[in-house]
Amino acid sequence: MSQQVTEITHRLVTSPGGRIHLVEQGTGPLVLLVHGFPESWYSWRHQLPVLAAAGYRAVAIDVRGYGRSSKPAPRDAYRMLDLVDDNVSVVRALGEESAVVVGHDWGAAIAANSALLRPEVFRAVGLLSVPYTPPGGPRPSDIFAQMGGDEEFYVSYFQEPGRAEAEIEPDVRGWLAGFYAALSADTMPPSGAPDPHFVSKGGTLRDRFPVGRLPAWLSESDLDVYAGEFERTGLTGALNRYRNMDRDWEDLAAFGGAPIPQPSLFAGGGSDASTTWLTDAIKAYPVTLPGLVSSHVLDGCGHWIQQERPDEVNRLLTDWLAALPT
């Protein structure tokens, strides 16, 4: 059902960490949109008006540590349990009892865990780019330390406090441009080139980023928005998500192997390592996501799926939402 699209509204709501900044558009059933690294509510700019026009109350947040949301100082304030609590607090602050939650990248993990831990609040879950993997298994830092041989996996690089900040913060705009380009289908390094997910000894991530060309989905003004946010906030709050992965592993141990039974959707990019490295997780969906409605891998799409292919993602989301039980 198409509705007249209202203007977007910015709001601050109270959360356990202080405040969450959100942007909302439309009226109807609540759809909560959760971004990943290194982004903001703005990564959902193409989805907000379409969801609003389809009859939903679309709400995109700045995750704790980003944008105008609070940035608590303690490193362990960015554990998964806290981010799930933030999502619940947003739903409650908006006067709603339940919501559909959709996440991209780290937001996909936050959305999945929100549905897993609080099924009475999150009645359905959409995951973009990063497949669902149930809690459990080996300690995350041990897994990442074994990847790459003589090179260092980017997650391990991000986990050391201050290290990535020293690389990024002298030139936030340039670093973000390179990072976005490195993971976009039209600008990523060609097959056989050094992998930008790894760091050589004594090097930086930026050494392997493409230079001088923005991906087609990212305009100079879009880049200005992202750079302006991180130039103001710094990167520590965002990077602290990576620095809590072992804490999450401990916090969620009681949910080891747990499936998410609510209706679910997955969409990933065929050229995105976050999707292709986890093909076994996608194959396990009949067990891990027994409520899965549909799963899609978009050929020729990179990591920033809802920005690279907004029309396709919007169609997948609206079709899935329309089929959900009310």
Catalytic residues: 105, 303
Check pLDDT > 60 for residue 2: no
From residue 260, alpha-carbon distances to 118, 125, 286 in Å are 11, 9, 10
The pLDDT tens digits of the residues spanning 102-148 come to 999 999 999 999 999 999 999 999 999 999 999 999 999 999 999 87
Report d(CA 205, CA 160) in Å as an integer: 14
Kindly report the CATH number that applies to the domain delimited by 9-323: 3.40.50.1820
* pLDDT class of 149 with cuts at 50, 70, 90: confident
272 — pLDDT class (breaks 50, 70, 90):
very high
Please spell the DSSP secondary structure of 19-65, one letter per residue. EEEEEEE--SSEEEEE--TT--GGGGTTTHHHHHHTT-EEEEEPPTT
Q: What is the pLDDT of residue 148?
A: 78
Q: What is the chain's alpha carbon radius of gyration, rounded to the nearest angstrom?
A: 18
CA dihedral (33, 295, 121, 16) positive or negative: negative
Model confidence at 5, in pLDDT bands (50, 70, 90)?
low
Predicted TM-score of the model (pTM): 0.97
Structure confidence at residue 320 (pLDDT): 98
Q: Where are the domains of the chain?
A: 9-323
Euclidean distance between CA atoms 235 and 171, whole angstroms: 12
Q: pLDDT tens digit string along 217-251?
A: 999 999 999 999 999 999 999 999 999 999 999 99
Mean pLDDT on 292-317 = 98
Bridge partner residues of 127 (DSSP):
103, 266
